[in-house]
Protein backbone atom coordinates (compact mmCIF):
# COMPACT_ATOMS: atom_id res chain seq x y z
CA UNK A 1 0.00 0.00 0.00
CA UNK A 2 2.78 2.44 0.83
CA UNK A 3 1.89 5.87 2.22
CA UNK A 4 -1.59 6.14 3.70
CA UNK A 5 -1.80 9.84 4.39
CA UNK A 6 -0.30 12.87 6.10
CA UNK A 7 0.39 11.63 9.63
CA UNK A 8 1.33 14.58 11.75
CA UNK A 9 2.72 18.10 11.60
CA UNK A 10 5.02 19.46 14.31
CA UNK A 11 4.58 23.21 14.85
CA UNK A 12 6.72 25.61 16.84
CA UNK A 13 4.93 27.93 19.25
CA UNK A 14 6.40 30.55 21.54
CA UNK A 15 3.99 30.00 24.44
CA UNK A 16 2.98 26.40 24.95
CA UNK A 17 0.03 26.95 27.29
CA UNK A 18 -1.41 29.69 25.14
CA UNK A 19 -0.97 27.41 22.14
CA UNK A 20 -2.76 24.55 23.86
CA UNK A 21 -5.60 26.88 24.85
CA UNK A 22 -5.96 27.97 21.22
CA UNK A 23 -5.66 24.54 19.62
CA UNK A 24 -8.07 22.89 22.06
CA UNK A 25 -10.66 25.64 22.71
CA UNK A 26 -10.74 27.43 19.35
CA UNK A 27 -9.63 24.84 16.80
CA UNK A 28 -11.11 22.15 19.03
CA UNK A 29 -8.40 19.50 18.94
CA UNK A 30 -8.04 17.04 21.81
CA UNK A 31 -4.87 16.86 23.89
CA UNK A 32 -3.56 13.31 24.04
CA UNK A 33 -0.17 13.60 25.69
CA UNK A 34 2.71 15.73 26.93
CA UNK A 35 6.48 15.51 26.94
CA UNK A 36 8.85 18.20 28.19
CA UNK A 37 8.28 21.20 25.95
CA UNK A 38 5.85 19.30 23.73
CA UNK A 39 2.11 18.77 23.60
CA UNK A 40 0.40 16.15 21.42
CA UNK A 41 -3.03 16.71 19.89
CA UNK A 42 -5.47 14.98 17.56
CA UNK A 43 -8.72 15.75 15.76
CA UNK A 44 -11.67 14.03 17.38
CA UNK A 45 -12.34 11.57 14.55
CA UNK A 46 -8.74 10.42 14.21
CA UNK A 47 -7.73 7.14 15.82
CA UNK A 48 -3.97 7.62 16.03
CA UNK A 49 -2.38 9.25 19.06
CA UNK A 50 -1.58 12.58 17.44
CA UNK A 51 -1.72 14.55 14.23
CA UNK A 52 -0.47 17.88 15.56
CA UNK A 53 2.57 18.28 17.80
CA UNK A 54 3.30 21.63 19.44
CA UNK A 55 6.87 22.34 20.44
CA UNK A 56 7.82 25.36 22.50
CA UNK A 57 10.46 27.41 20.75
CA UNK A 58 11.50 31.01 20.27
CA UNK A 59 10.01 31.35 16.78
CA UNK A 60 6.98 29.92 14.99
CA UNK A 61 7.04 27.60 11.99
CA UNK A 62 6.92 23.91 11.21
CA UNK A 63 9.68 21.64 12.50
CA UNK A 64 8.65 18.67 10.45
CA UNK A 65 5.80 16.72 8.97
CA UNK A 66 5.30 13.00 8.70
CA UNK A 67 3.53 10.48 6.52
CA UNK A 68 2.03 7.26 7.77
CA UNK A 69 2.84 4.13 5.72
CA UNK A 70 1.42 0.64 5.98
CA UNK A 71 4.28 -1.45 7.33
CA UNK A 72 7.99 -2.00 7.82
CA UNK A 73 8.41 -3.27 4.24
CA UNK A 74 7.29 0.15 3.05
CA UNK A 75 10.02 1.71 5.16
CA UNK A 76 12.59 -0.58 3.61
CA UNK A 77 11.49 0.24 0.10
CA UNK A 78 11.46 3.96 0.81
CA UNK A 79 14.86 3.77 2.50
CA UNK A 80 16.35 2.11 -0.55
CA UNK A 81 14.84 4.62 -2.91
CA UNK A 82 16.05 7.51 -0.78
CA UNK A 83 19.56 6.13 -0.54
CA UNK A 84 19.60 5.49 -4.28
CA UNK A 85 19.02 9.23 -4.68
CA UNK A 86 21.78 10.03 -2.24
CA UNK A 87 19.41 11.22 0.49
CA UNK A 88 20.78 10.63 3.98
CA UNK A 89 18.19 8.68 5.99
CA UNK A 90 18.02 8.55 9.76
CA UNK A 91 16.39 5.44 11.22
CA UNK A 92 14.50 6.12 14.42
CA UNK A 93 13.70 3.12 16.59
CA UNK A 94 10.45 2.25 18.30
CA UNK A 95 10.18 4.51 21.36
CA UNK A 96 12.42 7.29 20.11
CA UNK A 97 9.36 9.27 19.15
CA UNK A 98 6.55 9.56 21.66
CA UNK A 99 3.67 7.12 21.05
CA UNK A 100 5.12 6.15 17.68
CA UNK A 101 6.96 3.16 16.19
CA UNK A 102 10.12 3.06 14.13
CA UNK A 103 10.53 5.58 11.35
CA UNK A 104 12.69 7.12 8.67
CA UNK A 105 13.64 10.78 8.85
CA UNK A 106 15.31 12.73 6.08
CA UNK A 107 15.56 16.12 4.51
CA UNK A 108 13.52 16.67 1.34
CA UNK A 109 14.98 18.47 -1.69
CA UNK A 110 13.01 21.54 -0.62
CA UNK A 111 14.67 21.54 2.80
CA UNK A 112 11.89 20.06 4.95
CA UNK A 113 12.46 17.50 7.66
CA UNK A 114 10.13 14.66 6.73
CA UNK A 115 9.40 11.47 8.65
CA UNK A 116 7.74 8.24 7.58
CA UNK A 117 6.39 5.80 10.17
CA UNK A 118 3.91 2.95 10.11
CA UNK A 119 2.83 2.51 13.69
CA UNK A 120 1.37 4.94 16.18
CA UNK A 121 -0.42 4.26 19.42
CA UNK A 122 -4.15 3.92 18.74
CA UNK A 123 -6.25 6.01 21.10
CA UNK A 124 -9.48 5.76 19.11
CA UNK A 125 -12.01 8.40 18.18
CA UNK A 126 -14.05 8.05 21.36
CA UNK A 127 -16.71 5.95 19.64
CA UNK A 128 -16.97 2.18 20.03
CA UNK A 129 -16.26 -0.16 17.11
CA UNK A 130 -19.61 -1.87 17.74
CA UNK A 131 -22.85 -0.04 16.89
CA UNK A 132 -21.24 3.38 17.25
CA UNK A 133 -22.93 6.73 17.32
CA UNK A 134 -21.94 9.30 14.71
CA UNK A 135 -20.60 12.16 16.78
CA UNK A 136 -19.16 13.07 20.15
CA UNK A 137 -20.89 15.50 22.46
CA UNK A 138 -19.02 18.20 24.32
CA UNK A 139 -16.50 19.00 21.64
CA UNK A 140 -15.25 22.58 21.73
CA UNK A 141 -14.55 25.17 19.05
CA UNK A 142 -14.35 24.24 15.40
CA UNK A 143 -13.73 20.54 16.12
CA UNK A 144 -12.53 19.40 12.69
CA UNK A 145 -12.78 15.71 11.84
CA UNK A 146 -9.22 15.14 10.72
CA UNK A 147 -6.00 16.81 9.65
CA UNK A 148 -6.20 17.07 5.90
CA UNK A 149 -3.06 18.38 4.22
CA UNK A 150 -0.02 20.62 4.44
CA UNK A 151 1.25 23.28 2.04
CA UNK A 152 5.00 23.93 2.12
CA UNK A 153 7.35 26.07 0.07
CA UNK A 154 10.47 25.14 -1.80
CA UNK A 155 12.91 27.05 -4.00
CA UNK A 156 12.37 24.37 -6.64
CA UNK A 157 8.90 22.84 -6.32
CA UNK A 158 9.32 20.87 -9.54
CA UNK A 159 12.17 18.94 -7.96
CA UNK A 160 10.12 18.26 -4.82
CA UNK A 161 7.08 17.14 -6.81
CA UNK A 162 9.23 14.64 -8.69
CA UNK A 163 10.83 13.49 -5.44
CA UNK A 164 7.54 12.70 -3.67
CA UNK A 165 6.11 11.00 -6.75
CA UNK A 166 9.16 8.85 -7.38
CA UNK A 167 10.07 7.90 -3.83
CA UNK A 168 6.62 7.68 -2.24
CA UNK A 169 4.30 7.08 -5.22
CA UNK A 170 2.34 10.25 -4.75
CA UNK A 171 -0.10 11.20 -7.51
CA UNK A 172 0.00 14.68 -9.02
CA UNK A 173 -3.54 16.09 -9.15
CA UNK A 174 -2.94 19.74 -10.02
CA UNK A 175 0.01 21.93 -10.92
CA UNK A 176 0.84 25.59 -11.40
CA UNK A 177 2.77 26.48 -14.53
CA UNK A 178 4.72 29.55 -15.55
CA UNK A 179 4.04 31.34 -18.84
CA UNK A 180 6.72 29.19 -20.48
CA UNK A 181 4.90 26.02 -19.33
CA UNK A 182 7.41 25.11 -16.63
CA UNK A 183 5.98 23.70 -13.42
CA UNK A 184 6.26 26.02 -10.39
CA UNK A 185 4.01 24.25 -7.89
CA UNK A 186 1.75 21.28 -7.44
CA UNK A 187 -0.64 19.15 -5.42
CA UNK A 188 0.07 15.55 -4.48
CA UNK A 189 -2.22 12.93 -3.01
CA UNK A 190 -2.15 9.41 -1.61
CA UNK A 191 -5.56 9.44 0.09
CA UNK A 192 -7.89 9.92 -2.88
CA UNK A 193 -8.45 13.57 -1.94
CA UNK A 194 -7.21 16.52 -4.04
CA UNK A 195 -4.06 16.80 -1.93
CA UNK A 196 -2.19 15.48 1.08
CA UNK A 197 0.73 17.82 0.45
CA UNK A 198 1.10 20.84 -1.80
CA UNK A 199 4.34 22.57 -2.75
CA UNK A 200 4.52 26.20 -3.76
CA UNK A 201 7.49 28.34 -4.75
CA UNK A 202 9.17 30.01 -1.77
CA UNK A 203 11.99 29.68 0.69
CA UNK A 204 13.61 26.35 1.49
CA UNK A 205 11.93 24.52 4.34
CA UNK A 206 9.07 26.99 4.32
CA UNK A 207 5.66 26.26 5.79
CA UNK A 208 2.50 27.87 4.44
CA UNK A 209 -0.35 26.17 6.31
CA UNK A 210 -1.76 23.01 7.80
CA UNK A 211 -5.40 22.27 6.99
CA UNK A 212 -8.14 20.67 9.06
CA UNK A 213 -11.15 18.98 7.47
CA UNK A 214 -14.68 20.04 8.41
CA UNK A 215 -17.85 18.48 7.09
CA UNK A 216 -19.42 21.20 4.95
CA UNK A 217 -19.52 24.77 3.68
CA UNK A 218 -21.92 25.41 6.55
CA UNK A 219 -19.16 24.33 8.95
CA UNK A 220 -16.69 26.66 7.21
CA UNK A 221 -18.99 29.58 8.07
CA UNK A 222 -19.44 28.31 11.62
CA UNK A 223 -15.64 28.06 11.93
CA UNK A 224 -15.32 31.68 10.81
CA UNK A 225 -17.91 32.68 13.40
CA UNK A 226 -16.00 30.86 16.13
CA UNK A 227 -12.71 32.40 15.04
CA UNK A 228 -14.26 35.87 15.03
CA UNK A 229 -15.86 35.53 18.46
CA UNK A 230 -12.45 34.42 19.70
CA UNK A 231 -10.76 37.39 17.94
CA UNK A 232 -8.56 35.11 15.81
CA UNK A 233 -7.40 36.97 12.70
CA UNK A 234 -8.85 35.52 9.50
CA UNK A 235 -6.36 35.68 6.64
CA UNK A 236 -8.78 34.85 3.83
CA UNK A 237 -12.25 33.43 3.41
CA UNK A 238 -14.63 31.83 3.85
CA UNK A 239 -14.19 31.39 0.14
CA UNK A 240 -13.66 28.77 -2.52
CA UNK A 241 -10.34 27.63 -3.94
CA UNK A 242 -9.64 27.54 -7.64
CA UNK A 243 -7.41 24.54 -7.11
CA UNK A 244 -9.14 21.52 -5.48
CA UNK A 245 -12.54 23.31 -5.69
CA UNK A 246 -12.43 23.18 -1.88
CA UNK A 247 -14.18 25.59 0.48
CA UNK A 248 -11.75 27.28 2.82
CA UNK A 249 -10.86 29.74 5.52
CA UNK A 250 -7.25 30.66 6.29
CA UNK A 251 -6.40 32.01 9.74
CA UNK A 252 -3.45 32.32 12.09
CA UNK A 253 -2.66 30.74 15.42
CA UNK A 254 -1.48 33.25 18.09
CA UNK A 255 2.11 32.85 16.88
CA UNK A 256 1.57 33.36 13.18
CA UNK A 257 1.32 29.74 12.01
CA UNK A 258 -1.33 29.66 9.29
CA UNK A 259 -4.18 27.19 9.79
CA UNK A 260 -6.94 26.31 7.35
CA UNK A 261 -10.37 24.78 7.59
CA UNK A 262 -11.10 22.94 4.38
CA UNK A 263 -13.91 20.87 2.90
CA UNK A 264 -15.31 19.86 -0.45
CA UNK A 265 -13.10 19.07 -3.38
CA UNK A 266 -13.51 16.26 -5.88
CA UNK A 267 -12.52 12.60 -6.05
CA UNK A 268 -9.20 12.69 -7.91
CA UNK A 269 -8.96 9.73 -10.25
CA UNK A 270 -5.42 8.55 -10.90
CA UNK A 271 -6.34 7.83 -14.48
CA UNK A 272 -6.92 11.50 -15.26
CA UNK A 273 -4.26 13.98 -16.28
CA UNK A 274 -3.45 16.72 -13.78
CA UNK A 275 -5.19 20.08 -13.96
CA UNK A 276 -2.87 22.99 -14.77
CA UNK A 277 -3.13 26.57 -13.54
CA UNK A 278 -1.34 29.61 -14.85
CA UNK A 279 1.04 31.26 -12.42
CA UNK A 280 -1.06 34.43 -12.26
CA UNK A 281 -3.79 32.46 -10.50
CA UNK A 282 -1.50 31.91 -7.50
CA UNK A 283 -3.03 33.63 -4.53
CA UNK A 284 -6.46 33.92 -6.15
CA UNK A 285 -9.70 32.28 -5.08
CA UNK A 286 -12.38 31.09 -7.47
CA UNK A 287 -15.04 33.72 -6.85
CA UNK A 288 -12.70 36.62 -7.47
CA UNK A 289 -10.58 35.08 -10.22
CA UNK A 290 -12.60 35.02 -13.39
CA UNK A 291 -14.32 38.34 -14.00
Which positions lie near a copy of itself, rule CB under 8 A?
A: 1, 4-5, 45, 47-48, 68, 70, 122, 129-135, 137, 145-146, 191-193, 213, 215-218, 221, 224-234, 237-240, 242, 245, 247, 249, 264, 266-267, 269-278, 281, 286-291
Q: At what angle do helices 72-84 and 157-168 cross, to 10 degrees?
A: 140
CA–CA gap between residue 100 and residue 115 (Å, rounded): 11
Given a contact cutoff of 8 angstroms between Cβ atoms, the answer to whether 7 and 50 are in contact is no
Annotation marks residue 164 as catalytic: no
- Which residue, 57 or 165, has its beta carbon nearer to a copy of itself? 165
Annotation marks residue 171 as catalytic: no
Work out how close the CB of 75 gets to a copy of itself at its nearest, in angstroms, rounded to a whole number: 14
Question: Looking at 49, 112, 171, 241, which residue is catalytic?
Answer: 241
Work out how close the CB of 110 gets to a copy of itself at its nearest, in angstroms, rounded to a whole number: 25
94 to 32, 49, 100: CA distances (angstroms): 19, 15, 7
Work out how close the CB of 180 gets to a copy of itself at its nearest, in angstroms, rounded to a whole number: 14
- Which residue, 83 or 166, has its beta carbon nearer to a copy of itself? 166
Question: Looking at 49, 149, 171, 208, which residue is catalytic?
Answer: 149
253 to 10, 23, 27, 217, 284: CA distances (angstroms): 14, 8, 9, 21, 22
Work out how close the CB of 239 gets to a copy of itself at its nearest, in angstroms, rounded to a whole number: 7
Compute how many other C-beta atoms are within 10 angstroms of the C-beta atom of residue 256: 12
- Which residue, 56 or 121, has its beta carbon nearer to a copy of itself? 121
Question: Looking at 50, 171, 195, 208, which residue is catalytic?
Answer: 195
Annotation marks residue 250 as catalytic: yes
Identify which of 214, 215, 157 has the alpha carbon closest to the alpha carbon of residue 188.
157
Given a contact cutoff of 8 angstroms between Cβ atoms, the answer to whether 218 and 266 are in contact is no
Annotation marks residue 49 as catalytic: no
DSSP state of 23: I
- As annotated, the active-site residues are 149, 195, 209, 241, 250, 260
Amino acid sequence: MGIYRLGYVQLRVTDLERAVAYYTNVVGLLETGRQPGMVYLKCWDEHDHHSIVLRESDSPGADRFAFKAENSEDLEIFEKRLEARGVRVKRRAEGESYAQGESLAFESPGGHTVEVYYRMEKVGNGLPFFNPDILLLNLKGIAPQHTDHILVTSPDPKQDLAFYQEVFDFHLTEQVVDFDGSVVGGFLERSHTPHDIAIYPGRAGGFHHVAFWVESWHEVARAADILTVNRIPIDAGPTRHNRTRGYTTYFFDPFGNRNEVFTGGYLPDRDNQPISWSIDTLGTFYWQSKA
